[in-house]
Amino acid sequence: MKSEKKSFFKNFPLKLLSLLIAFLIWLIVVNVNDYKVVKEYYEIPVDQINGEEIESRGYVYDVISGETVDILVEGRRSVLDSLSKSDFEAVADLSKLSYTDTAKISVTCKKAGYDNKITITVKDDALKLSIEEKKAKQFEVKVDTKGSVADGYALGTPEISPSTVSITGPESLIKKIKNVKAVVDTSGLKGSKTVEVAISLLDGNDENVSFSRLDIDTTKVKVTIPVNETKTVPVKFSTKGHVANGYMLTAINEGIDEVLVSGPAESLDSINYIFVNDIDIDGLTSDKTFERVISDYLPEGVDFADSSDKVTVEIKVEKLYEKSFKLKSEDIIFINTKSAYDYKVELTGPYEIKLIGLERYVSNVDLAEYGPVIDCADLEPGTYELDVKLMKQGKFTINKSGTAVVTISEKEEATEDTGADDNASGENGSGEEE
């Protein structure tokens, strides 16, 4: 034993030095092969916690930047080689926002025992939010159809269930929504169709608005599209009231005279024309254009099936023109007279005939052409106050003032020569006396 002990401690310093040298060589080798490195990990998802604190105050938020984060990790090569992106956890606490609505992002390693082996540096540790007031609004769902139904058929008024949807979200996004639509394909249909379709949210440019930041009570609606037979019916127009005094309604120019309608057979059988009767011309002194929607005048159960249901009605109004004539006795002609009578007329005071009508019909009238006459049919001798009439009618109305007194008398017979008769009688008489 002593001999072995002496052998072990023989050259002990040299042996210790060799062990130390071996350890140093090992340490050098280890450090050469497992040196410290820096590795970058990209797009680590950031978990947002305590966001309910923002929502509890009546606000909603959206992440402007910082939904993912890039990090630099420093550590031994062997340690980093054992780590992947999924071993890191990034968290932003939304209850600790700065005055710029920014939350700090912190990143930790989920593997136990690695915290003291690595150093993590977050490249951009700020999660930036946009915070807005939460708004809720109801929108009417409108139906759009694509494709054409079969010939001889037309679409009726769609029925939608539900007809409105309630949408909640950021105020700016709610304001962006202008229309909520459901699109139904009606190509080749010959009968009614009921389908369930997804709705679309559209902005003012008919571009889709994303659902991602919105809460919607339903994203689908049930749409029933009636498909009915068609019929062409005439359209009649009527005015109410009167144009101003001194003016005349000269024309009603309608944009259409017939339209295409659709509906169940029994409804179509009951409609023979469409009556637009509310064109109010009361007091008009000039032309006026009215616009009407034909579908407003359809009976219940009948739908408009033409390309456009708006019609323009043009009312033409013209000022009346007046032309006056002062009559003389010699201007008047007697008609329906008897050859046995004499006819004389005397005008007491001025006798005036006034023609009232459109200028084009009145301005060039020659009274002689229209023949002012007095009708003496069935009149016996005597004195009468009679009306002066015109033999020829024109496109005007006639006002008359004055009095025409007509005297009718029997014509006197030719006087015979009675002197000879008297002499003859006298002679005959004296002869008898003799």
Is the per-residue pLDDT at 1 higher than 60? Answer: no
Which residues partner with 144 through β-bridges?
183
Q: What is the pLDDT of residues 272-315, one digit of tens each?
A: 999 999 999 999 999 999 999 998 999 888 888 887 888 999 99
Q: What is the pLDDT of residues 40-50, one digit of tens each?
A: 999 999 999 99
Under 8 Å between Cβ of 167 and 149: no
Check residues 196 and 191 and name the one with the higher pLDDT: 196
Count of alpha carbons within 13 Å of 177, Cβ hemisphere only? Answer: 28
Residue whose token pair is 């050259």: 11
The alpha-helical segments, DSSP class H, found in 202-241 are none
Q: Model confidence at 418, in pLDDT bands (50, 70, 90)? A: very low
**Average of pLDDT values for 183-192?**
88
Check residues 194 and 62 and name the one with the higher pLDDT: 194
Is the per-residue pLDDT at 352 higher than 80? Answer: yes
Q: For position 285, what pLDDT does the model report?
A: 94
Gap between the Cα atoms of 205 and 183, Å rounded:
17
Comparing C-alpha atoms, which of 377, 383, 331, 376 is closest to residue 353?
331
Q: For position 47, what pLDDT does the model report?
A: 94
Q: For position 338, what pLDDT does the model report?
A: 92
Is the per-residue pLDDT at 15 higher than 60? Answer: yes
**Average of pLDDT values for 193-211?**
92
Q: For position 412, what pLDDT does the model report?
A: 82
Q: For position 424, what pLDDT does the model report?
A: 38
Count of alpha carbons within 13 Å of 188, Cβ hemisphere only? Answer: 0
Q: For position 233, what pLDDT does the model report?
A: 93
- The most confident of 10-14, 327-331, 418-422, by mean pLDDT: 327-331
Using the Cα atoms of residue 79, residue 80, residue 82 and residue 88 in order, give the sign of their dihedral: positive
Q: For position 425, what pLDDT does the model report?
A: 38
Q: For position 421, what pLDDT does the model report?
A: 44
Is the per-residue pLDDT at 179 higher than 90? Answer: yes
**Average of pLDDT values for 166-193?**
90
pTM over 0.75: no
Q: For position 369, what pLDDT does the model report?
A: 84
Q: For position 228, what pLDDT does the model report?
A: 87
Check residues 143 and 368 and name the one with the higher pLDDT: 143
Question: Running DSSP on this structure, what letter comes out for residue 329?
Answer: G
Q: Model confidence at 264, in pLDDT bands (50, 70, 90)? A: confident
Comparing C-alpha atoms, which of 329, 248, 233 is closest to residue 281?
248
Q: For position 50, what pLDDT does the model report?
A: 92
**Average of pLDDT values for 336-345?**
92
Gap between the Cα atoms of 296 and 235, Å rounded:
13
Burial class (CB within 10 angstroms; exposed 0-12, middle 13-18, buried 19+) of 151:
exposed
**Mean pLDDT in the chain?**
86
Q: What is the pLDDT of residues 119-170, one digit of tens each?
A: 999 999 999 998 888 899 999 999 998 888 888 888 878 899 999 999 998 8
Gap between the Cα atoms of 122 and 110, Å rounded:
16
Is the per-residue pLDDT at 214 higher than 50? Answer: yes
Check residues 9 and 241 and name the one with the higher pLDDT: 241
Is the per-residue pLDDT at 416 higher than 60? Answer: no
**Average of pLDDT values for 53-60?**
86
